[in-house]
A = this chain, B = another copy of it.
Amino acid sequence: MENWESIDQVGMANALSQARQSFNEGGIPIGCSLVSVDGTVLGAGHNQRIQKSSPTLHGEIAAIEDAGRLKAGMYRDATIYTTLSPCSMCTGAILLYKIPRVVIGENKTFSMGAEDLLKSRGVEVVILDNPECKELMATFIREKPEEWNEDIGEE
């Protein structure tokens, strides 16, 4: 049996560290890590809309990109940790690579409802309701609502 508690601590600590880094850079504070079942961090990253003018480097995409080219099997016992409920693009990336487990810091400040699509495709979804994840996002949305709306495709 996997020691999820210990692996999840490593994974979410990495994701939160990325989110804090992005916040401190003036960016959107969403971080992510991709961790194998033995606790190895395969990749980590954060939203880069502001830092790199990137519309596609959301936290999850940045973490998968950071991991580089992997054989299909490497994704299939991995967990992806994200500080915020994933959008449809990041959900699609999780489904593309058949990542079987998603741990989400929080889904209160934003959710596109993609968790239901993940679950319907057999992905295990764990919600942590982490106070720091919520506080980072709430602060950013309050201070920079236009950048946030741009990131989720809203006017």
Please list the residues of chain A having a beta carbon within 8 angstroms of any beta carbon in chain B: 49, 53-57, 61, 64-65, 67-73, 75, 87-93, 95-98, 112, 149-150, 152-155
Contact = CB atoms under 8 A, between A and B. Distances in A.
Contact of A96 (B49, B64, B71, B88): B88
A153 B89 contact: no
- Identical chains in the assembly: 2
Contact of A89 (B70, B89, B155): B89
A151 to B, nearest CB: 9
A68 to B, nearest CB: 5
Given A88-B92, A92-B92, A92-B93, A53 B72 contact: no
A152 B152 CA distance: 25
A80 to B, nearest CB: 13
Nearest to A62: B56
A152 B55 contact: no
Contact of A64 (B56, B87, B97, B149): B56
A49 to B, nearest CB: 7
A65 B69 contact: no
B96 A68 contact: no
A93 B98 contact: no
Contacts of A73: 155
B96 A153 contact: yes
A55, A64, A75 pick with most chain B CB within 10 angstroms: A55
